Amino acid sequence: MAKFIVVTISLGLILIVSMIGSLPVLLWGGTGSDYFATCCILIALQLFIGKIWNYFIDKRLDIHLEQAKASSLLAESLQYLSTNCAYCGTTNLVQIIVGKDNTFECTACKQKNLIMIETSCARITTPVIPKADLNSIFSSIDNTPEKETDGE
């Protein structure tokens, strides 16, 4: 509904501006059809200019959205880890971005460190006993009454 009102008001303004803008045609001795033709040209011109205007507004909005996306991606890719200084061994909590050269200044000795990231791999294993069987085994253990042993 709000959009309909906005469109109606906009079209009304375009029509009024075109009608007023075409008045000089009548003042300079133009006929009614000259006035109507000028009015139509002014309407088309305003719609065309409006289209171009909206195109640039949309492009500006797209650029702002892309910037917002980029900064949120950067915020997501920031990771924190604690690592020891290569000079004095003090543990520092540092920010890293994977895929970039990460450096930090030690809080204790103020030396600049380069962070080297190493990776290691592990096999993905499947449990020998299925989880359902494990649950039944654990529940049977819980229900087993403890046997009293004779004191040694």
- List residues near Zn ion by CB under 5 A: 85, 87-88, 90, 106, 108-109
Measured from the CB of residue 113, what is the shortest distance to Zn ion in angstroms? 7
Nearer to Zn ion, 50 or 89 (CB): 89
Measured from the CB of residue 110, what is the shortest distance to Zn ion in angstroms? 7
Please answer whether residues 45 and 69 qualify as being in contact, where contact means their C-beta atoms are separated by less than 8 angstroms: no
Q: Indicate if the alpha-carbon torsion angle 130, 134, 140, 144 is positive or negative.
A: positive
Nearer to Zn ion, 96 or 106 (CB): 106
Nearer to Zn ion, 22 or 113 (CB): 113
Measured from the CB of residue 88, what is the shortest distance to Zn ion in angstroms? 3
Query: How far apart, in whole angstroms, are the C-alpha atoms of residue 92 and residue 107?
Result: 7
Please answer whether residues 26 and 35 qualify as being in contact, where contact means their C-beta atoms are separated by less than 8 angstroms: yes
Nearer to Zn ion, 42 or 106 (CB): 106
- Only one residue has tokens 């040694």, namely 152
Nearer to Zn ion, 91 or 136 (CB): 91
Q: Which long-range contacts does 47-50 make (Cβ < 8 Å, 24+ apart)?
A: 47/14, 50/14
- Which residues, listed in sequence order, are joined to residue 96 by a DSSP beta bridge? 79
Measured from the CB of residue 77, what is the shortest distance to Zn ion in angstroms? 26
Measured from the CB of residue 106, what is the shortest distance to Zn ion in angstroms? 3
Pairing mode, if any, of strands 102-105 and 91-97? unpaired
